[in-house]
């Protein structure tokens, strides 16, 4: 039995300790906001926070989360009102939307540690989150707007 | 560090002086698998153990040869890929730039969003093919090996300012037992391992230290 906290709630999971955290979140706990993209930590669609740090849940064994706190897109705010989520809507950032939960989770970790990131900071931190629709410019604009950085 | 000089040592010295006077000496490569050396032949995937170097009578030459042999490990892509001479690690046998395009970050463990531990676990993932080992991280820039010669790596490894303030005894232990170093021989997913074994590397480095920790001459290649 693996005990962990997911979005503030203690959960006990009777699963293989090597099960990818993504499987546990989606298939066992029904938290399907986190997406399966490549399964190889190459795309970032499965990004969640483990004790506030970004991890790709598709390659993270659930045992690594035992005794720790996982935050998914569902837990980023109680009602979807995290500054990034609001700006994401304002600027209509998503196109197909599949990668956006991962993009927002990485951006949230960035802003938590660096409230006023430069363009370079944003590009470096989001380098592991791919968007096949090519919404990168809107993503960068949204991160800067959420950070209160004026448009150039 | 001093040469132990018994009678045979004096003979060797006399011969060497005569040879030098005749202008007929030319330093052989510290180790080589071809031409001019009687060191045993080994395949690219194997290492010569310290015993193979016992035939080198001169202690300093033996020490240089031992390090040159060990440098075959240090310069293998499994090891050199994470000792980059810049802010981006390499991957593959051709030192490709790491994909995704991660950067070193302030503590050699990436930056927020793309830390090493965002993707790399404490073990290799055979299905996802993501390599992993405990404490996965880049070597500090001061320990860069990409593009460096065996002599440069040797001098770096002996310099406490560039080796993590390690003593030579700690260098031996690091090479012989560090769990991230060990990954070089257990790289997973069909990746070519570093030559020999970690145990052999530890023995070579221990023998190198015991023989005076001399560095290969500039230009010498393993």
What confidence score (pLDDT) does residue B11 get? 41
**Interchain contact, B102 vs A127, CB within 8 Å:** yes
Q: Is B111 helix (H, G, I), strand (E, B) or coil?
A: strand
Q: Are strands A2-6 and A69-71 parallel, antiparallel or unpaired?
A: parallel
Q: Is the pLDDT of residue B35 over 90?
A: no
Does residue B7 register a pLDDT over 70? no
Q: Which of these, A41, A60, A39, lies nearest to A49 by C-alpha position? A: A60
For residue B168, is it within any domain?
yes
What number is the average pLDDT over the span B65-75?
98
Round to whole Å and give the CA distance between A35 and A26.
8
Tell me the shortest Cα–Cα distance from A149 to chain B, in angstroms: 19
Å between B75 CA and nearest CA of chain A: 27
* B97 touches A at CB < 8 Å: no
* Contact between residue B207 and residue B53 where contact means Cβ atoms under 8 Å apart: yes
- Contact residues of A toward B, CB < 8 A: 39-42, 53-56, 58-61, 64, 106, 109-110, 113-114, 121, 124-129
Position B20 pLDDT exceeds 60: no
pLDDT at B22 over 70: no
pLDDT beyond 60 at B171:
yes
User: pLDDT band at B219, cuts 50/70/90?
Assistant: confident
Quick: pLDDT tens for A98-139: 999 999 999 999 999 999 999 999 999 999 999 999 999 999
**Stretch (H or E) spanning A93:** none
Q: Check residue A151 and give its pLDDT.
A: 77
Q: What average pLDDT does the structure give for chain A? A: 97
Mean pLDDT of A140-152: 93
Residue of B nearest to A108 (CA): B113
Q: Does domain A83-146 have CATH number 1.10.150.120?
A: yes
Contacts of B210 (CB under 8 A, 6+ apart): none
pLDDT at B187 > cutoff 50: yes
What residue ranges do the domains of chain A occupy?
2-75, 83-146
> Which of B111, B129, B130 lies at the smallest CB-CB distance from A125?
B111
B30 pLDDT tier (thresholds 50, 70, 90): low
A2-75: CATH topology = Ubiquitin-like (UB roll) (3.10.20)
Provide the Cα torsion B200, B201, B207, B213; round to 10°: 170
The per-residue pLDDT for range A28-60, each reduced to its tens digit, is 999 999 999 999 999 999 999 999 999 999 999
> What is the model's pLDDT at position B222?
80
Range(s) of the domain holding residue B200 = 7-210
Domain count, chain B: 1
Could you tell me if residue B184 is inside a domain? Answer: yes
Burial class (CB in 10 A: 0-12, 13-18, 19+), A128: buried
- Whole-prediction pTM value? 0.88
8 Å CB contact of B111 and A42: no
CB contact under 8 A, A125 and B112: yes
Share of chain B above pLDDT 90, in %: 81
pLDDT at B3 > cutoff 60: no
Are B115 and A129 inside 8 Å of each other by CB? Answer: no
Give B 183-222 residues with CB within 8 A of chain A: none
Question: Considering the domain boundaries, does residue B145 fall inside one?
Answer: yes
The neighbouring-strand residues paired with A54 are A49
Asked whether the predicted pLDDT for residue B17 surpasses 60, the reply is: no
Q: Please list every residue in chain A whose beta carbon sits closer than 8 Å to the beta carbon of residue B130.
A: 40-41, 59
Given pLDDT bands bounded at 50, 70 and 90, which one contains residue B37? Answer: low
| B220, part of any domain | no
Average pLDDT, chain B: 88
Instruction: Decide if B115 and A54 are in contact by the 8 Å CB cutoff.
Output: yes
Model confidence at B183: pLDDT above 60: yes
In a domain, B150, yes or no: yes
Cross-chain Cβ contact B113/A129 below 8 Å:
yes
């Amino acid at each position: 039995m693996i005990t962990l906290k997911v979005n503030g709630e203690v959960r006990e999971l009777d699963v293989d300790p090597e099960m990818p955290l993504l499987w546990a979140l989606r298939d066992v706990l029904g938290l399907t906001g986190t997406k399966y993209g490549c399964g190889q930590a190459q795309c970032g669609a499965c990004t969640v926070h483990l004790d506030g740090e970004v991890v790709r849940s598709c390659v993270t064994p659930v045992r690594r989360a035992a005794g720790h706190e996982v935050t998914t897109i569902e837990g980023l705010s109680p009602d979807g009102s995290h500054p990034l989520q609001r700006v994401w809507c304002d600027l209509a950032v998503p196109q197909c939307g599949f990668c956006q939960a991962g993009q927002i989770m990485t951006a949230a970790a960035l802003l938590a540690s660096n409230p006023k990131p430069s363009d370079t900071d944003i590009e470096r931190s989001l380098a592991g989150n791919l968007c096949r629709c090519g919404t990168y410019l809107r993503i960068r604009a949204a991160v800067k707007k959420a950070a209160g950085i004026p448009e150039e | 560090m001093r040469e132990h000089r018994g009678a045979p040592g004096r003979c060797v010295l006399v011969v060497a002086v005569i040879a030098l006077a005749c202008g007929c000496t030319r330093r052989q490569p510290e180790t080589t698998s071809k031409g001019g050396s009687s060191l045993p032949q080994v395949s690219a995937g194997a290492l010569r153990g310290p015993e193979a170097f016992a035939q080198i009578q001169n202690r300093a030459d033996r020490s240089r040869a031992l390090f040159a042999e060990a440098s075959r490990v240090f310069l293998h892509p499994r090891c050199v890929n994470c000792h980059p001479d810049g802010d981006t690690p390499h991957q593959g046998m051709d030192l490709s730039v790491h994909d995704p395009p991660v950067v070193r970050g302030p503590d050699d463990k990436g930056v927020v969003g793309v830390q090493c531990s965002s993707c790399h676990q404490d073990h290799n993932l055979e299905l996802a093919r993501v390599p992993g080992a405990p404490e996965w991280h880049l070597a500090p820039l001061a320990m860069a090996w990409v593009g460096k010669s065996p002599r440069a790596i040797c001098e770096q490894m002996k310099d406490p300012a560039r080796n993590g303030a390690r003593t030579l005894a700690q260098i031996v232990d690091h090479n012989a037992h560090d769990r991230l170093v060990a990954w070089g021989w257990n790289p997973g997913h069909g990746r070519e391992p570093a030559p020999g074994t970690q145990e052999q590397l530890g023995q070579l480095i221990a023998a190198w230290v015991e023989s005076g920790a001399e560095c290969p001459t500039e230009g010498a290649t393993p």
